[in-house]
Chains A and B, each alone.
Chain A
Amino acid sequence: MAVVELHHVFKRYPEGHEALRDINLTLEAGEMAFLTGHSGAGKSTLLKLIALMERPSQGQMFVTGRNVTKVRRRQIPFLRRRVGMIFQDHRLLFDRDVYTNVALPLIIAGFRRQEVGRRVRAALDMVGLLDKEQRYPITLSGGEAQRVGIARAVVNKPDLLLADEPTGNLDPALSREIMGLFEQFNQVGVATLIATHDLDLIGQLGRRTLSLREGRLLGERAEVPA
């Protein structure tokens, strides 16, 4: 089953700028892929469309098997719960501790407290931050904050992970570590799409890579064994 399917998708902004042109793309369940391109090539726009933060101007879109081209606004939250999102600037809540930040998707989905505790600790354990659950984001390093963001994205066991420049502010060693986490989640079957311009890192991992230029998807580079 395809987790993401785009058919002839365009995104035009009201002021006339065409951010995406005729995008055709399929991401299978459990697949991991990179999305590259220069700034302004449309990487973020593409992720925003898949995350239903913006709507396509034209074309058909399927996410986790559902046609979301014209999805009603009320349905969007329920679809987003099946997609974990990771941002370059983490987007953590600064007035809540690490535990609460990671727990938020579960609280939103209406889990009971005990179940929330169990899952949050499991997620924090996976990213190696179990001992920091009571810390506040401001006291964390960039790498730690990003791992909290990842824990929050995976805590609800999504079908798809979307990451927008997740290593943008990190040094190569930390970046490698973060990518290792993504590979780990991918191994348990979470489809993963990572936008990055870190070509070195992509080269090391040898996964499917999609390149955008001026809103168009260029030819793909086939999967190479790592």
Chain B
Amino acid sequence: MSRATPARGASRGMPRDFLRGRLDQHRDEAKDSLRRLVAAPLSSLLTAAVIAIALALPAALQTLVETASGVAAGWDREASRISVFMGLDRDRASARELVGRIEGRADVIAVRLIPRDEALEEFREQSGLETALDSLEENPLPHTLVVQPTASSPGAISRLGEDLGRLDGVDRVRLDRAWLERLQALLATGERLALLLFGLLGVGVLLIVGNTIRLAIASRREEIAITQLIGATDAFIRRPFLYMGLWYGLFGGLLAVVLVNTGLLLLRAPVDHLAALYDSTFTLNWLPMDIAAATVGLGVLLGLAGAWFEVGRHLRATAPR
């Protein structure tokens, strides 16, 4: 006569069969909980959909922020340039002379001169304002020097900008960096917002799963009581509900990935068009693998956690007194 488990301790001196039996339990519970979800497809789908939407929002925001950050990084080099505008009264010779002077500096890699007539020509082609420009009596554009600094830190670049502004013949200096920094600050805000949303909506998912599990527990109250009477441990009682939470979280997470990708697909055509208008080859990609994995993983974790808390509450409430 063999006993399944000794009266005390959980795992000491167990026969090997015990582990196999435990595996049987897990397989059965995983299948059974899945069967229960499939048996009530509408309510299961609704729960998964609510979880999916809650997870999709921050995932989508995070994706957009990351995409935009990638674009901004590509602009970085371009953005560290300094545009130096000369006074309108300066001629081409003094412009060349200024180029020579700036090129000699150690903190400058290269200087390119855009003569005022070329600038006007280019502007005429790109802007389509030909007739308006033709009506002007003289060229409103100055000679422009595009300076590529050695340094990339905002401080060094703005110091260089100030130096250049003091040179003879320079009317105005524009740092392209400023707007990029604003963009990057905006993106950092977006990233933080996505994190905050993850936290807030994560709590939401926890509550949704918890509530669903609470209903499942209520409908299986008698079954729980009976299995406890014939020797079920807390772990055994928990198991089917943990699997239920796991399935909800998994399906919710997967559905969230599908939702975000659908959204990105729908946005792709207008974004491509927009990018083309800006002469950019930028395009929206699918949800990156790491964000997708994080979304599904978080869904599973939250599903398990919600189930764990709810069953724990029930177990404490029904403990013998």
Contacts and interface: CB of A to CB of B under 8 A. Distances in A.
B223 interface: yes
A173 interface: no
Contacts of A54: 320-321
A100 to B, nearest CB: 10
Contacts of A82: 7
Contacts of B232: 77, 108
A127 interface: no
Contacts of A80: 228-231
Contact of B4 (A73, A74, A113, A156): A156
Contacts of B222: 91
Contacts of A66: 7
Contact of A75 (B8, B20, B24): B8
B123 interface: no
Contacts of B225: 91
Interface string A69-104: 000011111111110010000011101000000001
A75 B226 CA distance: 17
Contacts of B1: 157
Contact of A93 (B18, B20, B226, B321): B226
A110 B4 contact: yes
A105 interface: yes
A112 interface: yes
Interface residues of A, number: 36
Given A64-B7, A91-B226, A77 B321 contact: no
Interface residues of B, number: 31
A97 to B, nearest CB: 14
Contacts of B6: 78
A110 B21 contact: yes
A226 B233 CA distance: 41
A6 interface: no
A76 B228 CA distance: 9
A109 interface: yes
Contact of B320 (A53, A91, A112): A53
Interface string B18-30: 1011101100100
Interface string A146-190: 000000100011000000000000000000000000000000000
B250 to A, nearest CB: 25
Nearest to A91: B226
Interface in B299-321: 319-321
A3 interface: no
A194 interface: no
24 contacts: A51-B229, A52-B320, A55-B320, A74-B233, A76-B320, A77-B232, A77-B233, A77-B236, A78-B6, A78-B7, A79-B7, A80-B228, A80-B229, A81-B230, A85-B229, A93-B223, A105-B230, A105-B231, A108-B231, A108-B236, A109-B231, A110-B25, A112-B24, A152-B230
Given A53-B229, A91-B225, A92-B226, 11 more contacts: A54-B321, A75-B8, A79-B7, A81-B4, A104-B226, A107-B24, A107-B28, A110-B22, A110-B25, A111-B17, A111-B21
Interface of B: 1, 3-8, 17-18, 20-22, 24-25, 28, 222-223, 225-234, 236, 319-321
The 4 closest A-B pairs by CB, nearest first: A109-B4, A110-B21, A81-B231, A80-B231
